[in-house]
Amino acid sequence: GNSVTQMEGPVTLSEEAFLTINCTYTATGYPSLFWYVQYPGEGLQLLLKATKADDKGSNKGFEATYRKETTSFHLEKGSVQVSDSAVYFCALLNRDDKIIFGKGTRLHILP
Amino acid sequence: GAGVSQSPSNKVTEKGKDVELRCDPISGHTALYWYRQSLGQGLEFLIYFQGNSAPDKSGLPSDRFSAERTGGSVSTLTIQRTQQEDSAVYLCASSLGMDQPQHFGDGTRLSIL
């Protein structure tokens, strides 16, 4: 079946460090891929998405590239800020229009 | 199991009818969230509860939508006078607290004819 696996947290980094949060998926066909972010005290928000292989989603300095050959959609940011502290969810939208989430990765950025 | 449970899993109804969607969160989770996923789209955040209180209802699409939570547990999302654009998957999630990761139910697929 379809599934999403992302690295377990918490991830703790210093401000201005490079961030990678790994995400891999299993799916039939060609799903759309998403990263969602949950800031403290809020619901999920869409951070970025990619709908086909080799697409790169980007927003707020975050990037992720849809890699079909490695079935991955790793989230990266070159220089993190304290305000990036949140929980990040990788997700896929399969051909049955069902969205499947990873378990979430908590990110702590230290000043 | 001990996950978030939503019912019904599928609901087909005629335009103009009222529908009620139910969410049973994980026991002990104080925060509960409702989302909507329209065809081919990502998630749209609707409302959250901290305990029985919903501090911000501005995410609800219209005044036909309402939600309540009782006893800090079960929540219902009610849509009155349904319209075709209400057709979507409605997802519920719960978490130990507002700063904790959310656990999602399987959703209710709502189809308005």
SS3 labels along B9-48: CEEEECCCCCEEEEEECCCCCCEEEEEEECCCCCEEEEEE
The pLDDT value given to residue B1: 52
The pLDDT value given to residue A68: 93
The pLDDT value given to residue A95: 72
Beta pairing, strands A44-50 & B43-50: unpaired
The shortest C-alpha distance from A7 to chain B (Å) reads: 13
Q: Which residues of chain B have pLDDT under 70?
A: 1, 40-42, 99
Residues 33-92 (A) with a CB less than 8 A from some CB of B: 34, 36, 38, 40-46, 49, 87, 89, 91
Q: Which of B35, B48, B102 lies nearest to residue A104, judging by beta carbons?
A: B102
The pLDDT value given to residue B39: 72
CB distance B35–A101 less than 8 Å?
A: no
The shortest C-alpha distance from B27 to chain A (Å) reads: 18
Q: Cβ-count burial of A18 within 10 angstroms (0-12 exposed, 13-18 middle, 19+ buried)?
A: exposed
Report which of A23, A28, A20, A29 is spatially closest to residue A4, judged by C-alpha positions.
Answer: A23
B61: cis peptide before it, omega within 30°?
A: no
The pLDDT value given to residue B50: 87
Give, for all 111 residues of chain A, the pLDDT tens digit: 788 999 888 999 999 999 999 999 999 888 989 999 988 777 788 899 999 999 999 999 999 999 999 999 999 999 999 999 998 999 888 776 677 888 889 899 999
**Number of neighbouring beta carbons within 10 Å of residue B18:** 11
The pLDDT value given to residue B97: 78
Q: Which of A43, A46, A104 lies nearest to residue B48, judging by beta carbons?
A: A43
Q: Which amino acid is at A13?
A: L
The pLDDT value given to residue B40: 65
The pLDDT value given to residue A40: 78
Q: What is the Cα–Cα distance from B28 to B40, expressed in whole angstroms?
A: 33
